Amino acid sequence: MLLAVDVGNTQTVLGVFDGEELVCHWRITTNKSDTSDELHIKLHNLYALEPRVEKLSNLVLASVVPTLTAVWCDLAEKLKIPALVVKPSMDTGLPIRYDNPFEIGADRIADAVAAIHLYGAPVLVVDLGTATNIEVIDKDGVFVGGIIAPGFITSAEALFSAADRLTRVDLETPKHAIGTNTRDAVQSGLVLGEVARIDGLVRYVFDELGYTAPVVATGGLADRVVPISAMITHENANLTIEGLRLLFERNAGQSEQRNAGERV
C-alpha cells in the first residue's frame, strides 16, 4: 500500500492507496517540531482505527515545510519503505511555463497533475489552505502560472492581531452580507470577501486566457467556499493526494529506498 502525505503549513493530509483505490485518509494539524518518533506514534494511532490498512510499501511526499520533509524521510527509513519526495525537477508529465519552475511548490504540481487527469484541460485549481492558490492549466495542458493570496485563516489572524477591539469569530458563512453586529460583519468580510476575491480572480484569469474552464476547489476550507461561489464548478477534497499517487506511479523507480514494507 502507498502512503501519500501532503505537508502544509497548517494541516497535513494523509491518504493510503491500494492501487488506485483511496482506502482511507486523514487531515491532522501540522506541528513543525514533530520528530520522526512522534509522527510514528500519530500514524500508529490513526492506523489502529483502520483495519483495511495492511503493509505499507511506499511513501510519496509533498511538503512546504523543509524540516518536516527530512523528518518524514527519516520515518520512512525507520519503516523500511522507499520515500519519493515530489519536486519540480522530477518527471511530472506536466509542461510548465513558469519563470523559475523550482519556485513551484510540490502541492501545486500535484494539484495540477490530478486536475488534468480527472477533469481534462483547460482547468483551474483553487487550493484553500494557509494561502489561497489558484493554479492555471491552459487548453494545451500547460501549467502557465497561478495566483497566491492570503488564505482564510491567514487573513483572519492578521485582522484579529491588528485590531484590538475585534474578538475572534468562527469562519462561518453569514446569512446576510450586511452584518448588523460585529460578529456577522467580520464573518461577512472574511468569508464572503474571500469568495468574492476568488470569483473575481477567476474571472480575470478567464479574460486573459480568452476562454473558460472547469474550476476545482480543494483544501481544508473548500466546503465553506464552494456552496456560495459563482465560479467554482467542482469540489475534490482529495485532489492533492490523488496527484501524489499519480506522480508516484510515474516516478516509482526514483524512490530513495527499496526495502519491503511493514505495517505501522
CA distance 139 to 116: 10
Which is the catalytic residue, given 34, 107, 111, 127?
107
Active site residue 107: yes
Distance CA 151, CA 104 (A): 17
**DSSP track, 157-196:** HHHHHH-TTPPP------S-SS-SSHHHHHHIIIIIHHHH
> Which element (helix H / strand E) includes 73?
helix 66-79
User: Residue with C-alpha cell 468580510?
Assistant: 189
How many CA atoms lie less than 13 Å away from 69 in the CB half-sphere?
13
186's grid cell = 467580520
Nearest of 185, 262, 194, 193 to residue 222 by alpha carbon: 194
Catalytic positions: 107
